[in-house]
Amino acid sequence: MKSKVRRLTHFPFMLCLSLLLLFGCNSGGADSQPADLVIRNAQIFTSHTDQPDADTIAIKGEHIAHVGSFAGAAPFIGPGTEVVDAKGRLITPGFVDNHCHVLWIGGMSYLMPPNLFECTTQDEILAKIEERARNNPDLPMIGGIGWRMNQLSDGPRKEILDAVVSDRPVMLMSYTGQAGWLNSKAIALMIQRNPEAFARLSPVRDPETGEYTGECKRYHVINILNYFSWEELGATVEEGIMASITDVLEEALSYGVTTMHDVQIYPEFIPLLLKFRDRGGLDNVRVRGAYFVGPERLDDEEQLTSDLNEWKDIGQRENGAHLRFGQSLKFYIDGTMDNRTSLLLEPYSDDPANYGTPEWTEEEFDRITEIADGLKLQCCTHNTGDAGARRVINSYARALTVNGMRDARHTLEHCELPTAEDWPRMALYGMIASMQPQHFYDDGVEKGLGHERLQRWMPWKSLEEAGVRISFGSDWAAGPTNPAYGLAIATLRLNYKGDNDWGPNEAIDIQSGIRHWTADSAYNLFMENEIGTLEPGKYADLVIFNTDLREMSSTAFWETHEFALGALDDFVDLTMVGGRTVYRKDGTDLNLSR
């Protein structure tokens, strides 16, 4: 277990005195700019293309005052400046996660813990569920995240769950978030309390009996607050939700992730998030939320427009350095490969009659993007199939043509299979490929796509060369928060079998990967003037590593490291946000007083 923030003792006086004698006394006069902290003798990768490397960084207050050489830092060293030797460690900007669910799923992890990811068999899943129910008799429902289709002997059927928990609803989300698995109690409750919301989950019926089987095809739109009120959940659950968010955010900081874009926020959840913010829950991180909009919202365009304007107003009232609302919207155009709901131009290799199914018709999606773009809101659309990507690109291009070109930065979330003929339009209209390399490790894709299409799956290098801006993130909880895993995969094109025969030419260099996860993701979030690179004037959000991530592209690195979950989790010694230490690894000799 990693430690929380520790504030350490002052820097030794004699070293500071010797530096003053060497560079002259800077007492804070008109020409001096004494910093609070100077970190020297580092390998600094700034993510800034004009000055990618440096060895010293100076921090004053929340912001960076200097990045460059130690000699160049002389004007920033005064009597009160703390000077720290990084001893050759790598320093990068704080990582910016372009697509995750740290607030919504992070909070709901109290009710639906991601403990099923570690399971490998159906029996292990059921044991976890039974244990959860037995140890939590007061919970109104039993949840979990992380099961896989290929682990179930007869698919996600309600009878399997009924056999272990029958007195309360059981509601389970798959590892991709796309598929749901319910017991009979959950189905009955959801139909009773909100049949319209239940129908939007695409529950599967048995073709012979007409009864619901327990499987949901579009579980990604699940909103627990459609079925349970805050009053019913109670104060204990509310406190548990906020504690769960805290745990997820602290884990992210331990991996060097300082800014996160939660891409699926529901309006019912906003009051609790503001309460969490006001209690200091976001003081050590920066988060941005995207408002989720489903196809049913077009049934009442007047109400939809009113709600979107209210979303913008919330941002204007509440936004600050640590929380951003009112700027982005989340849509889904299709599903995922594992349950064959990604929208494809050609059918699935193992299901010749299936092309996947769209969430929106072309006309509906054209309309919603026109409305959103007209309100100057950023559109962030989930797409995993090539036909899904094309529909999104067509619609974005149309909206920008109708409303007028602007710096919209509409994103293709995941963008796993865009075709070569669509890349130039992405670049032309300034669309962003918001990608999550960890999904390349998916074991549910190979049979559905076939070897030929896998050669152009997640075409990172081609998109770079086509002039498309790429940003990176984790899609937690569908992938580990730690960027090290995604960077290794993007550099090695390593698949779940340990092979690199899926489009090996689409691998990118490690420096580009870091930039995509820092500078480009900051741009994705319209925060490039504040974070994402280490340069004067920006927030001092940075990570000090004990292991040089750039070495992960070498053979020598993997001779001493294992590519396995948990094996790359101890690379960070210290994380700073706004010039403050927000994570420090136990046992590190890196001593800062801030």
Per-residue pLDDT tens digits for 145-169: 999 988 998 899 999 999 999 999 9
What is the predicted pLDDT for the residue at 28? 35
Nearest to 313 by CA among 305, 321, 410: 305
Nearest to 219 by CA among 151, 147, 285: 147
What is the predicted pLDDT for the residue at 9? 34
Q: Identify the three-state secondary structure at position 275.
A: helix
Can you tell me the mean pLDDT for 517-527?
Answer: 98
Can you tell me the mean pLDDT for 308-316?
Answer: 98
Is 60 exceeded by the pLDDT of residue 6?
no
Place of tokens 């499987």: 215
Q: Are 133 and 168 in contact (CB under 8 A)?
A: yes
Separation between Cα atoms, residue 535 and residue 270, nearest integer Å: 33
Q: Is 407 exposed, middle or buried (0-12, 13-18, 19+ CB in 10 A)?
A: exposed
Is 90 exceeded by the pLDDT of residue 594?
no
Can you tell me the mean pLDDT for 174-194?
Answer: 93
Nearest to 492 by CA among 451, 448, 449, 440: 440
Can you tell me the mean pLDDT for 204-212?
Answer: 95
pLDDT > 70: what percent of the chain? 95
Amino acid residing at 572: V
What is the predicted pLDDT for the residue at 31? 45
Give strand pairing partners of 90: 43, 545
Give strand pairing partners of 39: 57, 84
Nearest to 125 by CA among 139, 144, 104: 144
What is the predicted pLDDT for the residue at 176? 84
State the alpha helices, DSSP H only, in 215-287. Answer: 230-254, 270-278
Separation between Cα atoms, residue 175 and residue 180, nearest integer Å: 10
Separation between Cα atoms, residue 63 and residue 423, nearest integer Å: 37
Q: Are 510 and 456 in contact (CB under 8 A)?
A: no
Q: Identify the three-state secondary structure at position 566.
A: coil
Is 90 exceeded by the pLDDT of residue 180?
yes
The confidence band for 2, taking pLDDT boundaries of 50, 70 and 90, is very low
Amino acid residing at 284: N
Is 70 exceeded by the pLDDT of residue 471?
yes
Per-residue pLDDT tens digits for 17-75: 344 334 333 333 334 579 999 999 999 999 999 999 999 999 999 999 999 999 999 99
Which contiguous run of DSSP H or E holds residue 577? strand 572-577
What is the predicted pLDDT for the residue at 32? 55
**Can you give the residue ranges of every domain in the chain?**
13-93+538-584, 284-334+360-524
Peptide bond into 252 cis (omega under 30): no
Is 70 exceeded by the pLDDT of residue 425?
yes
Which of these ranges, 133-137, 304-308, 372-376, 434-438, has the smallest mean pLDDT?
Answer: 133-137
Matching fold, domains 13-93+538-584 and 284-334+360-524: no
Q: Identify the three-state secondary structure at position 373.
A: helix
Separation between Cα atoms, residue 583 and residue 581, nearest integer Å: 6
Nearest to 334 by CA among 323, 321, 345: 345
Is 80 exceeded by the pLDDT of residue 384?
yes
Task: Give 93's contacts (C-beta < 8 A, 6+ positions apart).
Answer: 46, 47, 518, 519, 531, 532, 533, 534, 541, 542, 543
Q: What is the pTM of this model?
A: 0.90
- Count of C-beta atoms within a 10 Å radius of residue 202: 20
DSSP-assigned states of every residue in 66-129: EEE-TGGGGGG--TT-EEEE-TT-EEEEPEEEEEE-TTHHHHHTTTS-STTTT--SHHHHHHHH
Q: Are 69 and 508 in contact (CB under 8 A)?
A: no
What is the predicted pLDDT for the residue at 494? 92
Amino acid residing at 348: Y
What is the predicted pLDDT for the residue at 347? 97
Higher-confidence residue: 20 or 85? 85
Torsion-angle region of residue 352: left (phi > 0), alpha (psi -120 to 50) or beta? Answer: alpha
Can you tell me the mean pLDDT for 475-487?
Answer: 94
DSSP 348: B
Per-residue pLDDT tens digits for 361-382: 999 999 999 999 999 999 999 9
Give domain 13-93+538-584's CATH number out of 2.30.40.10, 3.40.50.11540, 2.30.30.40, 1.20.120.920.
2.30.40.10
The confidence band for 103, taking pLDDT boundaries of 50, 70 and 90, is very high
Separation between Cα atoms, residue 429 and residue 462, nearest integer Å: 17
Per-residue pLDDT tens digits for 246-292: 999 999 999 999 999 999 999 999 999 999 999 999 999 999 999 99
Separation between Cα atoms, residue 262 and residue 425, nearest integer Å: 27
Separation between Cα atoms, residue 420 and residue 390, nearest integer Å: 11
Can you tell me the mean pLDDT for 98-122?
Answer: 92
CATH number, domain 284-334+360-524? 3.20.20.140
Per-residue pLDDT tens digits for 337-357: 988 999 999 999 999 999 998
The average confidence (pLDDT) of the chain is 92
- Count of C-beta atoms within a 10 Å radius of residue 390: 20
The CA–CA distances, whole Å, from 223 to 218, 237, 430 equal 12, 16, 32
